[in-house]
Amino acid sequence: MTLATGFDVAAVRADFPILARTVRDDKPLVYLDSGATSQRPLQVLDAERDFLLNRNAAVHRGAHQLAEEATDAYEYARSAIAGFVGAKVDEIVFTKNATESLNLVAYTLGDDRSAGLFGGRALGEGDTIVVTELEHHANLVPWQELARRTGATLRWYGITDDGRIDLDSLDLDETVRIVAFTHQSNVTGAVADVPELVRRARAVGAYVVLDACQSVPHMAVDFAALDVDFAAFSGHKMLGPSGVGVLYGKADLLQQLPPFLTGGSMIETVTMEGSTYAAPPQRFEAGVPMTSQVVGLGAAVDYLTALGMDAVAAHEHDLVVHALDRLTAIDGLRIVGPTDAVARGGAVAFDVAGIHAHDLGQVLDDEGVAIRVGHHCAWPMHRRFGVQASARASFALYNTITEVDALADAIGVAQKFFGADR
């Protein structure tokens, strides 16, 4: 097949020492689980190490040089991340992960102090929150809880037979206040029609919340151009550290939200009678933050920027095209999701007749191929397809065509082992 030109995957792999290790009786590691967590390049590890060795201090507090340097490094990362996703610096809030980011939005929108966002009346009975059946639990359960707390009704878009959001399954009306959906499914890999979903939300005056965990690491994303109101993504899925996530929010909306967590760092004034709160983003960053992790995420963004997200996306597209070609040729294998690479990312879920997903994963692991098996934090989506679990390979910029072939070959080994090739 013809591969994307100008992308040197061998040079990229050299930045990830873990990819050179062996597993299971000295087999080469084939890491196809980046949808769960990505590996980190030396540049990210070095940035974290340099920060801890040379400028480790609490940020936004202290008058000494280390504190100033730590704050500069922390805020540089915020600026780099903002530029990476088409945001203003004060629209980027650091959290501990995307799950916290989505909970922050859901919780604060349900606070009666956010009534101004809903025409002066707090979210409650008679209002509707819309999600999709395709969601990761992190973009479903917080909205279920918001509906429970406020008395609002939760409705959802269904899923098409090829694993995309079914835009014909739900009509929005004037009761809809919030529409939350995934940019790219962590199971089927389907990329949502964001412009159309935003258009529908705007037509009824609803706010849009985007789960961008699986899109930001793999394609060029501009939140301002997409016109979403809030978006969430995590560091550990985009070559960065675990323990750091990002919430994007339009500046004027963040300004109207009350705090999620309270304590140090997020205050303006404090008396025994009450407190006032800092402006965003500090309002939402209570306590001592995950400083070195933020610095590492800034380095990850610099790394991806240097490679170019269009080049990354083109390379990963080639991997998906080849994977779909190889996997759809395997008798008894069903792709759970689109079988073509149009508007599709690098998560490829599948099941194999006669082999439970967990058993399949074990044999693949014995062959050195690391994938994820289970429901992938998306139980409703799996129920829609009539399966309790699936196997999922998820590709990243450091994967190769040879590794795609290793996946397909290992599935063949599993079929022979379980007698499912007959």
- How does pLDDT run across 318-360, given as a tens digit for each residue? 999 999 999 999 999 999 999 999 999 999 999 999 999 999 9
Give a yes or no: residue 184 inside a domain. Answer: yes
Do residues 281 and 370 share a domain? Answer: no
Same domain, 91 and 18: no
Give residue for tokens 């290790």: 21
- Whether residue 371 sits in one domain with residue 353: yes
Supply the CATH number for residue 216's domain.
3.40.640.10
The reply to whether 14 falls in a domain is: yes
Query: Where is average pLDDT lowest: 37-51, 54-68, 96-110, 239-253?
Result: 54-68
Strands 245-249 and 230-234: antiparallel
* Residue 151 and residue 263 share a domain: yes
Q: What is the pLDDT of residue 419?
A: 92
Domain end: 275, 306, 337, which one?
306
* pLDDT tops 70 at residue 422: no
Contact 254, 319 (CB under 8 A): no
> Looking at the structure, do residues 144 and 52 belong to the same domain, yes or no?
yes
C-beta of residue 269 within 8 angstroms of C-beta of residue 70: no
Q: Note whether 358 and 289 are same-domain residues.
A: no
Residue 3 pLDDT: 56
Q: What is the pLDDT of residue 411?
A: 98
Confirm if 157 and 167 have CB atoms less than 8 A apart: yes
Q: Are residues 60 and 27 in the same domain?
A: no
Half-sphere exposure of 253 (CA within 13 A, CB side): 21
User: What pLDDT is attached to residue 394?
Assistant: 99
Decide if pLDDT at 62 tops 90. Answer: no
Domain end call among 306, 329, 344: 306
State the pLDDT confidence band at 4, using cuts at 50, 70 and 90.
Answer: low
In angstroms, the CA 309 to CA 287 distance is 33
Domain's final residue, options 306, 337, 354:
306
152: confidence class by pLDDT, cuts 50, 70, 90: very high
Please, what is the average pLDDT of the chain? 97
Classify strands 153-159 and 128-132 as parallel, antiparallel or unpaired: parallel
Q: What is the pLDDT of residue 2?
A: 45
Q: Are residues 159 and 190 in the same domain?
A: yes
Task: Give me the pLDDT at residue 5, please.
Answer: 58
Co-location of 177 and 274 in the same domain? yes
Could you tell me if 169 and 96 lie in one domain?
yes
CATH number, domain with residue 363: 3.90.1150.10
Q: List the catalytic residue out of 29, 377, 387, 413.
A: 377
Query: Residue range 155-174: average pLDDT?
Result: 98
Mean per-residue pLDDT, 277-287: 98
Nearest to 90, CA basis, from 78, 102, 100, 98 = 78
Confidence (pTM): 0.97
Say if 3 falls within a structural domain.
Answer: no
Asked, for residue 1, whether it belongs to a domain, the answer is no
Is 213 known to be catalytic? no
Task: For residue 2, tell me if it sits in a domain.
Answer: no
Is pLDDT at 87 greater than 70 in this prediction? yes
**Residues of the domain holding 52:** 46-306
Task: Find, among 224, 200, 183, 226, the residue nearest to 130 by Cα.
Answer: 200
Same domain, 19 and 97: no
Tokens 């009306």 correspond to 173
Is the domain of 236 the same as that of 207? yes
What is the tally of structural domains in the chain?
2
117: CB partners within 8 A, 6+ apart: 109, 207, 253, 256, 257
pLDDT, tens digit, 9 for 90 and up, residues 355-397: 999 999 999 999 999 999 999 999 999 999 999 999 999 999 9
Q: Are 134 and 168 a contacting pair, CB within 8 Å?
A: no
pLDDT of amino acid 391: 99
In a domain, 166, yes or no: yes
Cis peptide before 281 (omega within 30 of 0): yes
Phi/psi at 190 (nearest 5 deg)?
A: -65, 135
**What is the pLDDT, as a whole number, of residue 61?**
85
Has residue 188 been placed in a domain?
A: yes
Instruction: Please name the amino acid found at residue 228.
Output: V
Query: Once rounded to an integer, what is the mean pLDDT over residues 411-421?
Result: 93
Dihedral sign, Cα of residue 3, residue 11, residue 217, residue 280: negative
174 found inside a domain: yes
Percent of the chain with pLDDT strictly greater than 90: 97
Q: How high is the pLDDT of residue 289?
A: 94
CA distance 380 to 181: 14
Ranking 5-14, 19-28, 36-45, 268-277 by mean pLDDT, the lowest is: 5-14
> Does position 250 have pLDDT exceeding 50, yes or no?
yes
pLDDT at 113 over 80: yes
